[in-house]
Amino acid sequence: MITFVFLKFHPKQQRIVLSKKLWLHPSSLLDYSYFIFSVFFRVMIILPVIISTKEVALFVNIVLLNQYGFVRIETLSYTQVMVLFTLILFILNDFTRYWLHRLLHFVPWLWVFHKVHHSAKVLNPLTFYRVHPIEFLLFGFRYSLSIGFVTGVFVFLFGSLVSIYDILGVNLFVFIFSLLGSNLRHSHIKLGFGNVVELFLISPLQHQIHHSKNYMNTNFGGFLSVWDYLFGTLILSKNVTNIKFGLEKTQMKNFQSLKDLLFFPFIVTYKQIKK
Amino acid sequence: MRYLVVIIFFISIVVNAVGEKFFNQVIIVNIILAIKSVDLLIDNINQANSTRIRMQFGNLVSSWKKVETTYFLGDLNEDYLDTPRYIDIFHGNNEEIKPQLDLIINSNDELFNAMYKYSHKTINALEYVLFTKDLSHQRVKNMALIIAKSIKSYLSEILDGYKMYQSKFLENEQYASAILLNTLIAGTYKLKEWRVGDVAGLSKKFKNKPNNYRAEYATSGNSVNAIKAILETQAQIINSPDYQDLGDISRQFKARKEIDQAISALNDSIANANNMSEFDFINDKGKRLYQSTNRLMKAYYISLMDKLGFVSKVLDADGD
């Protein structure tokens, strides 16, 4: 809905977003085929990893039980526990996502794999899935460990009163932020939130800036930009006028096909190890 | 597609119910039986029939444990949070009541004033008085009656409370299932760790220091009886053919494997408890019971984690 309203008042951008050139760009076509691959990969490889979230939660819970015995906080109501759990889950998820994303940029051997995502010359919603399998796995582990940890602690403290507020199976806050346009991160819809809001919430335009060649070491946040603000990686959208997506020309040639996206990072890693 | 989601949503609310039948056949029936038990015990104390007193105390222990196993009235109204502690101080009170009760017996103070503490009127105090003191002594008999009547009064309070908050329990089925599962988990931890592990020398607190006399009702020899009652009540909650229980709900939510594991661990625990005598805590039988109740607790926790279903909820928002 935000898209329609935004485009109605920005007819120039409407032309870009609806252009054939964008949707049939070789980078977009590669995103589509890579998306199909990623669905299979997520089901076959990531899902078994994600299941271990339950194991992590159980492990944390049992360790706490062994360490501190049986504890039950009875002062909070069912609703309060639900709100607290949903909120903490969302914040912790976003916080760990920020740090993993930042590490993907600053640790050289991780950057080799994360480049796959930044190799998109144009952005569309499926660019979200243009992520190397190694990165998928890292995000899977991050998810299992962080969500499993916080769930284990909550179950230890509140038992089965722990529950999550969700809308159609999605964390309430994730749903709200998605409505606020977070799914426009990978698009050419230049939606900014203004200086004040962008200190706390990442606008689609801020993430698009992150995808530009000159500012890719800024705006690592997922839903919240407050992490970028606190840890010195924030850039507000009004400060950037010229955005060119993708990597440097010399690097772009290494990410032209599905095969390139999958194997090029391994080749680079192999060469680096061999050195 | 949208209509399908809405239909599934409403069905999930409807099936997520621990119903009225469960409430009446388990919660209400068990508390009524406990009140009857204490009534009969009061009659036996009045008649000073020591054989019947011993038997009836066993019945009271068993019926009280059934009430305690499903005690969630405190979740419905926090004024009732402490009521079980006025009946039972096992592991919940560090004071040594036995010398205090001896002092009361040997003094000439008015009993009403001397027995001013809640702990003096608990089932633990009653056990000490009934099984170590001479009931032909009028002061001892009066003490036993005061304690038994106090227990009856709190049990009646619990019955009234459940009747008053029955609709609150039944109106929010998801909440009802949550507090019931919480009660099960808490009870299983206490059973495994306090009632078996501490005695068998398998808990962290008493590692390698087994002692049969640490058992909950070591004085009257009702510890295994109490454990059996707890486990039988758990079967009433998760594995009853007579009404919709937590096990049925878990199956409806596709946690068939998890609930089957819990039922299997529960059945093993019941078999192990049935195979035990009061002096078996410190041998292999005690160890087996500890292990099966440990499996049972883990199975409940796994069911709980499964209920959360957090796996799919954030996954789609992952990656950058």
The secondary structure of residue B194, as a DSSP letter, is: I
Nearest to A65 among B181, B189, B310 (CB): B189
What's residue A95's pLDDT?
96
Using a CB-CB distance cutoff of 8 angstroms, which residues of chain B are in contact with residue A162?
A: 304, 308
Mutate to test the interface with A, among B310, B311, B312, B316 (most CBs of A within 10 A): B310
Interface membership of B312 toward A (CB under 8 Å):
yes
What's residue B6's pLDDT?
43
Interface membership of B14 toward A (CB under 8 Å):
no
Are A70 and B313 within 8 A, CB to CB? no
Interface membership of B189 toward A (CB under 8 Å):
yes
Using a CB-CB distance cutoff of 8 angstroms, which residues of chain B are in contact with residue A89?
A: 310, 314
Interface of A with B in 201-220 (CB under 8 A): 220
Q: Is B320 helix (H, G, I), strand (E, B) or coil?
A: coil
Closest A-chain CA to B313: A170
The secondary structure of residue B253, as a DSSP letter, is: T
Q: Residue B19 carries which side chain, given as an amino acid letter? A: G
Q: Is A171 helix (H, G, I), strand (E, B) or coil?
A: strand
Interface membership of A160 toward B (CB under 8 Å):
yes
Closest A-chain CA to B301: A58
What's residue B309's pLDDT?
64
Are A168 and B314 within 8 A, CB to CB? no
What's residue A165's pLDDT?
77
CA dist list (Å): A57 to A32, A53, B117:
35, 6, 42
What's residue A168's pLDDT?
67
Helix/strand/coil percentages in chain B, nearest 5: 75, 0, 25
Exposed / middle / buried, residue A31 (Cβ in 10 Å: 0-12, 13-18, 19+): buried
pLDDT along chain A (275 residues), means of 10: 75 81 93 91 72 85 90 87 90 94 96 96 93 89 89 92 75 76 85 94 95 95 95 95 90 94 95 88
Q: How many CB pairs under 8 A join A and B?
A: 106
What's residue B17's pLDDT?
52
Token duo for residue B49: 């029939």
> Distance (Å) from the C-alpha of residue A275 to the closest C-alpha of chain B?
30
ipTM > 0.85, yes or no: no
Is the torsion defined by CA of A199, A201, A202, A204 positive or negative?
Answer: negative
* pLDDT tens per residue, range B248-278: 887 877 778 888 999 999 999 999 999 999 9
What's residue A224's pLDDT?
94
Are A70 and B186 within 8 A, CB to CB? yes
Are B181 and A155 within 8 A, CB to CB? no
Are B316 and A93 within 8 A, CB to CB? no
Task: Tell me which H or E stretch contains A167.
Answer: strand A166-167
Closest A-chain CA to B203: A66
- Half-sphere exposure of residue A90, counting CA atoms within 13 Å on the CB side? 20
The end-to-end CA distance of chain B, in Å, is 29
Whether residue A242 contacts residue A213, with contact meaning beta carbons closer than 8 Å, is answered with no
Mutate to test the interface with A, among B77, B314, B315 (most CBs of A within 10 A): B314
In sequence order, which residues have a C-beta less than 8 Å from that of residue A73 and are 6 or more positions away?
A157, A158
Whether residue B165 contacts residue B175, with contact meaning beta carbons closer than 8 Å, is answered with no
> Distance (Å) from the C-alpha of residue B105 to the closest C-alpha of chain A?
36
Q: What residues are paired with B143 via a beta bridge?
A: none
Closest A-chain CA to B185: A159
Nearest to A166 among B5, B174, B313 (CB): B313
| pLDDT < 70 positions in chain B | 1-18, 309-319
What's residue B9's pLDDT?
43
Whether residue B143 contacts residue B104, with contact meaning beta carbons closer than 8 Å, is answered with yes
What's residue B5's pLDDT?
46
Using a CB-CB distance cutoff of 8 angstroms, which residues of chain B are in contact with residue A50?
A: 311, 315
Q: State the Cα–Cα distance between residues B157 and B82, nearest whole angstrom.
A: 12
